[in-house]
A and B are shown apart, each in its own frame.
Chain A
């Protein structure tokens, strides 16, 4: 221990040590003892403790570094994540409690007020039915967010489970499922929607959700299948199997956590596109129908009048764009954080 310590301490003073050898012995002894004292004063307290502290710091810093923690650290430093999250949180609040922001009912329409400009009673003006555009824009968030969230949850659940099982077990199950997803990919979305939703008389939010799940799950299933196959081939899965893990443990503990990232990314981006799909369907008159308030319905009402009253088109369209953009931006931020290859 003292030997190791002398080396770095003496190195710069190497010449002095040599000259000390030339001087008589008492001097040498005194010098050595001086150095010893110095060493004793310096080392036990300052450097060693600092090293220990640094070590401990390093360890603590190191400890908090799983994939998810890494991803979270990445997200935290990404302004896109914060902007899009703030917008989304705001949208969710509006969707749940639109009454916080307006006391006007979106359905209290007075034809005599039709197509008015901005005023204190109607900050965004009124549409051709005489409804308050501000109120309708706020209330429209509920339908969009509901459809977006539930369609995403539904398609991710169905897609991830079916795709994951296909990827894990392979063989016949995989072949059949892959062909089914191919068939669904072949259905043109709008045409499918026209047929499906026209055949069903109800135009509730849940019917639209169900439709989006039915057409949306194959996309997720394909992603899930691919990432499960990738994860399944990793050595640690073989290793876990070699050490006696059963199928369910392999799937839930070893494969799922390693395969879930791409599904989350695609799901987040899909959420934005489901919202715009809902608006498209409602615009075409096959999605939601009045009295449900939806941006798509507002847009379709605005078509005939927007040249005289641009606000009828602008506000719902802006709300829709911002919402979709927020989710796609969030999806991008999440992808950047979860995909180490993009770093």
Chain B
């Protein structure tokens, strides 16, 4: 299938084997209303030092797939029903629970969206940072606190020495997110998954936090998966983007190419729905309709009921991730589109 070949193509660009490789991942939620298929055959890979942005609306499966990678999927009702998650060549789905726990935090870590609710309100920030060292390395309480101060300084929290004994609610939103990043960073993991790390922040602070993440990633040569619904956030930071819709990756591309020339009608719609200044006075563009109910995903291409280009084939056949090429057939590295009419979309 071209899905697999294009995934391999992407990884072939980097010299070594990718740090994380997700292959044909399926996740479903068994609920009273039926089985919600949240992730349906997702493939992606991240190498050390690389940033992959996973873009999608709420309910597109972007968070669920990352929870599956972290191994923090709520189960029940969530179940991984197929696929492989290869982390440093080892399939995490076959790793025992205790080993998996040791990987979390130490080798892969996560930055959560809302730092206020992701930090324990009754424990001091210093304690929670130090906890990383104490659970994984058995560091003493005192040394853990020293390391917590160092970490806070490294993520740019002023007055770290005094603030280490404060509680999360005494920090501003941006500072709290820095604490979350410091926690994720504590044991210098190889992979960080940031789940909408800036959604809860002011625009000015967003930029600072993104910059911090990008700097640290470069410094430690980590793989970074950036989950977001905000096209603006990823533009400067990500290397490549995977756009998700209804549990599938519908388009992959290097970041600037995706912005310049989308090869999927959904991506195109997303880009067009960003409000622009020169648009003043005109109606804002919106993709018509709603994302599908995951219990009843439409047959064929899941986007077909909302797609301006939908034809008969879109209602009948699920499009695989086609390798995207120039009009003359020249290869476009790392590009793929799950649209029967990607050519028409790309070349207009």
Q: Number of B residues whose C-beta is below 8 Å from A?
A: 35
Minimum CB–CB distance from B281 to chain A (whole Å) comes to: 38
Does B183 touch A at the CB level, under 8 Å?
yes
- With CB as the reference atom, state the residue of chain A lying closest to B193: A242
Chain B CB within 10 Å, residue with most, of A67, A68, A240, A254: A240
Q: A66-B122, A257-B122 are in contact. Are A239 and B101 (CB under 8 A)?
A: no
Q: Considering the complex, which residues of chain A in the window 197-242 have a beta carbon less than 8 Å from any beta carbon of chain B?
A: 234-236, 238-242
Interface digits, B166-185 against A, CB 8 Å rule (1 contact, 0 not)?
Answer: 11011000000000100110
Tell me, yes or no, whether A146 is within 8 Å of chain B by CB. Answer: no
**Which residues from chain B contact A39 at a C-beta distance below 8 Å?**
none
Contact of B167 among A66, A234, A258 (CB under 8 A): A66
CB-CB < 8 A to A241: which residues of B? 72, 104
Instruction: Say yes or no: is B46 at the interface (Cβ < 8 Å to chain A).
Output: no
Instruction: Tell me if B118 is interfacial: C-beta within 8 Å of chain A.
Output: yes
The answer to whether B104 touches A242 (Cβ under 8 A) is yes
Would you call A44 an interface residue if the criterion is a C-beta within 8 Å of the partner chain's C-beta atoms? Answer: no
List residues of chain B with CB within 8 A of the CB of A59. 162
Pick from B119, B123, B166, B186: contact of A253, CB below 8 A: B123
**Is B29 part of the contact surface with A, judged by Cβ < 8 Å?**
no
Tell me the bound Cα distance from A235 to B131 in angstroms. Answer: 17
B165 at the interface (CB under 8 A from A): yes
User: Could you give, for residues 70-92 of chain B, a 1 whenever the CB lies within 8 Å of some chain A CB and a 0 otherwise?
Assistant: 10100000000000000000000
- Report chain A residues within 8 Å CB of B180: 239
* Contact code string B102-122 (vs A, CB < 8 Å = 1, else 0): 111110011010100111111
Determine the distance from Cα of A241 to Cα of B100 in the docked complex, in whole angstroms.
11
Binds B, one of A7-15, A244-252, A280-288, A317-325: A244-252
Contacts of B167 in A (CB 8 A): 65-66
- Answer yes or no: A45 CB below 8 A from chain B CBs: no
Identify the closest chain A residue to B134 (Cβ): A249
Distance between Cα atoms of A63 and B170 in the complex (Å): 8
Bound CA span A258–B70, Å: 25
Does B136 sit within 8 A of A, measured CB to CB? yes
Min CB–CB distance A139 → chain B (angstroms):
42
CA distance A43 to B122 in the complex (A): 40
- Closest Cβ–Cβ distance, residue B182 to chain A (whole Å): 11
Judge whether B14 is part of the interface by a CB distance below 8 angstroms. Answer: no
| The one of A66, A68, A240, A243 that contacts B184, using a Cβ cutoff of 8 Å | A243
Bits for A127-154, please: 1 = Cβ < 8 Å to B, else 0.
0000000000000000000000000000
Contact A242 B162 (CB under 8 A): no
Is A242 in contact with B109, judged by CB distance below 8 angstroms? yes
| B117 and A67 contacting across the interface, CB-CB below 8 Å | no
Whether B132 is near chain A, meaning CB under 8 Å from some CB there, is: yes
A interface, by DSSP: helix, strand, loop or mixed?
Answer: helix
Give the contacting residue for B183; candidates A63, A243, A258; CB below 8 A: A243
Cβ–Cβ < 8 Å partners of B132 in chain A: 243-244
Q: Which residues of B contact A240 (CB under 8 A)?
A: 120, 128, 131
Give the number of residues in A that approach B within 8 Å (Cβ atoms): 24
Q: Give the residues from 256 to 289 in chain B that come closer than 8 angstroms, CB to CB, to chain A.
A: none
Known: A62-B170, A243-B184. A258 touches B121 (CB 8 A): yes
A244, B121: Cβ atoms closer than 8 Å:
no
Cβ–Cβ < 8 Å partners of A68 in chain B: 122
**B2 within 8 Å of A (CB atoms):** no
Contact: B166 with A242, CB < 8 Å?
no
Shortest Cβ distance from B148 into chain A, in angstroms? 13
A67-B122 in contact (CB<8A)? yes
> With a CB–CB cut-off of 8 A, which chain B residues contact A238?
72, 112, 118
> Is B118 a contact partner of A235 (Cβ separation < 8 A)?
yes
Contact B118 A239 (CB under 8 A): yes
CA distance A44 to B119 in the complex (A): 39
* A236 lies within 8 A of B120 (CB): yes
Closest to A55 in B: B159
Verify A246–B117 contact, CB threshold 8 A.
Answer: no
Contact pick for B166, options A62, A235, A239, A246, CB 8 Å: A62
**B104 with A244: CB separation less than 8 A:** yes
Is A244 touching B106 in the complex (CB atoms < 8 A)?
yes
Minimum CB distance partner of A234 in chain B: B117
Knowing A62-B166, A66-B167, A235-B112 are in contact, say whether A244-B135 is a contact too (CB < 8 A). Answer: yes
Contact check, B109 vs A243: say whether CB atoms are below 8 A apart.
yes
Q: A235-B112, A239-B110 are in contact. Are A246 and B101 (CB under 8 A)?
A: yes
CA distance A66 to B110 in the complex (A): 26
Task: Determine whether the beta carbon of A242 is less than 8 Å from that of B110.
Answer: yes
Please give the distance in Å from A263's CB to the nearest CB on chain B. 14
Chain B neighbourhood of A65, CB < 8 A: 167, 169-170
Residues in chain B near residue A62, CB distance under 8 A: 166, 170
Which one, A66, A236, A243, A257, contacts B104 given CB within 8 A? A243
How far is B112's CA from A39's CA once the two chains are assembled, in angstroms?
Answer: 48
Alpha-carbon gap, A14 to B114, bound state (A): 46
Q: List 27 A-B contacts (CB under 8 A).
A: A59-B162, A63-B165, A63-B166, A235-B112, A236-B118, A236-B120, A238-B72, A239-B112, A239-B118, A239-B180, A240-B131, A241-B72, A242-B70, A242-B72, A242-B109, A242-B110, A243-B183, A244-B101, A244-B106, A245-B101, A245-B105, A246-B135, A249-B131, A253-B120, A254-B123, A257-B120, A258-B121
Which 4 residue pairs of A and B lie closest in terms of their CB atoms, listed nearest first?
A: A244-B105, A243-B105, A235-B117, A239-B118
18 additional A-B residue pairs with CB within 8 Å, beyond A241-B104, A243-B132: A59-B162, A63-B166, A65-B170, A234-B117, A235-B114, A236-B117, A239-B119, A239-B183, A242-B105, A242-B110, A243-B104, A243-B131, A243-B135, A243-B184, A244-B102, A244-B132, A244-B136, A249-B135
